[in-house]
């Protein structure tokens, strides 16, 4: 069996896909959505075509090592997003070739269902927030949600601002009750000192984690925050490969790692990161804020790592008209995938509706006047 063809599809701002077809007719799908850099990831896949065409698609580890180690610049978001998407497609092919879900090729399952959390929004209209919570918790049965640190933060904030924000988080706890986990994403927007102050104030509401309380580039600073609070610190959505996570683990900067399988290196690389984390008694809550193919790949890894905690899930990741059958959340969990490969079928009609735009990530980090936010 050889790789005969590689195609790419841009379906919407959260979903760019790669399809690998073998000379036996088996198709494998992966996701190469790179937030804010769709064209770059597309070009990287095109560049890799020359190597992959004609190769045995089952030699996944060999191909990964060749692409990663054979490049003068190892890693980075563009190359690794392209490589991660291709690797996903190869595991999809391998699972279909042997007639099993891809997690059986990674050691087999350690659980029969996968806990997920949904996003409930950040502050704003309280009626809309309550309606969103009612939908997620009462209608859909979610057991965990995530919210974020609202607004822009300066080097120091007044006690009034801190008390107001903290009060809103405690109000959220009162709304959902103690039976629902709450994750709080700082997005690295506050200073380390401010993060420590906020964390101390938030300990009484028992968050599941605080995410990126400091920017991920400096694991020493993250470790300082982690040692100053009893709340588990989470990080990793913007780190790449096991080498990117090494310092975080060695410096004990986080209790929860959040590798993004579509950027960090793919299924097997994420499993290797999980194995490293297991030695430090650290859990994984994989990041996935793009499309349903990336989410499907995450489920395969979630199934087989013993130190899995919870999986991020955005609404569009459940199918969004791209999959023939949406993933179903029941009582806060998704049942273990049973179909071969990554466990889904693509809705062919979705491939006929290309999207030409890009992901407007700049709006996350700039003020209304276009200037860069302090943090």
> Which amino acids are annotated catalytic?
187, 287
Residue 107 has which token pair?
């050691």
Q: Tokens 């190597």 sit at which residue?
A: 51
Q: Tokens 């103690």 sit at which residue?
A: 178
Q: How far apart are CA 221 and CA 116, in angstroms?
A: 29
CB 292 within 8 A of CB 327: yes
The b/e string for 298-320 (b: 16+ C-beta within 10 A; e otherwise) is bbbbbbbbebbbbbbbbebbbbb
Q: Contacts from 194-198 at CB under 8 Å and sequence distance 24+?
A: 194/153, 194/155, 194/156, 194/157, 195/225, 196/224, 196/225, 196/228, 196/229, 197/162, 198/149, 198/162, 198/165, 198/166
Q: Contacts from 277-280 at CB under 8 Å and sequence distance 24+?
A: 277/245, 277/249, 277/307, 278/306, 278/307, 279/249, 280/249, 280/252
Q: How far apart are CA 294 and CA 323, in angstroms?
A: 12
Chain center to CA of 23: 32
CB 251 within 8 A of CB 284: no
CB hemisphere CA count around 302 (13 angstroms): 29
Q: How far apart are CA 235 and CA 220, in angstroms?
A: 13
* Helix (H) or strand (E) segment spanning residue 157: none
Q: Is 87 helix (H, G, I), strand (E, B) or coil?
A: helix
Q: How far apart are CA 342 and CA 184, in angstroms?
A: 30
């Amino acid at each position: 069996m050889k790789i005969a063809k590689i195609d790419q599809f841009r379906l919407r701002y959260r979903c760019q896909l790669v399809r690998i077809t073998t000379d036996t007719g088996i198709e494998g799908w992966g996701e190469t959505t790179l937030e804010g850099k769709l064209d770059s990831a597309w070009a990287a896949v095109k560049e890799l075509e020359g190597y992959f065409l004609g190769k045995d698609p089952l030699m996944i580890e060999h191909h990964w090592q060749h692409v990663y180690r054979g490049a003068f610049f190892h890693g980075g978001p563009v190359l690794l997003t392209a490589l991660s998407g291709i690797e996903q497609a190869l595991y999809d092919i391998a699972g279909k070739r042997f007639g099993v879900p891809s997690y059986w090729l990674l050691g087999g399952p350690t659980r029969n269902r996968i806990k997920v959390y949904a996003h409930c929004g950040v502050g704003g209209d309280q009626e809309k927030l309550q309606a969103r919570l009612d939908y997620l918790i009462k209608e859909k049965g979610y057991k965990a949600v995530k919210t974020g640190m609202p607004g822009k933060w300066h080097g120091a904030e007044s006690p009034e601002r801190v008390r107001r924000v903290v009060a809103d988080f405690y109000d959220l706890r009162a709304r959902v009750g103690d039976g629902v986990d709450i994750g709080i994403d700082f997005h690295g927007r506050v200073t380390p000192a401010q993060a420590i102050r906020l964390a101390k104030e938030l300990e009484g509401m028992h968050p599941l984690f605080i995410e990126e309380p400091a920017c991920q580039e400096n694991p020493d600073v993250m470790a300082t925050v982690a040692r100053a609070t009893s709340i588990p610190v989470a990080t990793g959505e913007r780190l790449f490969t096991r080498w990117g996570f090494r310092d975080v683990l060695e410096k004990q900067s986080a209790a929860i790692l959040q590798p993004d399988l579509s950027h960090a290196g793919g299924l097997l690389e994420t499993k290797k990161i999980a194995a490293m984390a297991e030695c430090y008694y650290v859990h994984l809550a994989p990041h996935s804020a793009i499309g349903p193919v990336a989410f499907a790949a995450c489920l395969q890894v979630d199934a087989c790592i013993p130190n899995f905690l919870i999986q991020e899930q955005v609404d569009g990741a459940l199918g969004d008209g791209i999959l023939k059958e949406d993933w179903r959340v029941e009582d806060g969990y998704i049942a273990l995938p049973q179909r071969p490969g990554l466990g889904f079928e693509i809705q062919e009609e979705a491939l006929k509706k290309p999207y030409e735009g890009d992901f407007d990530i700049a709006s996350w980090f700039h003020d209304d006047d276009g200037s860069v936010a302090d943090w």
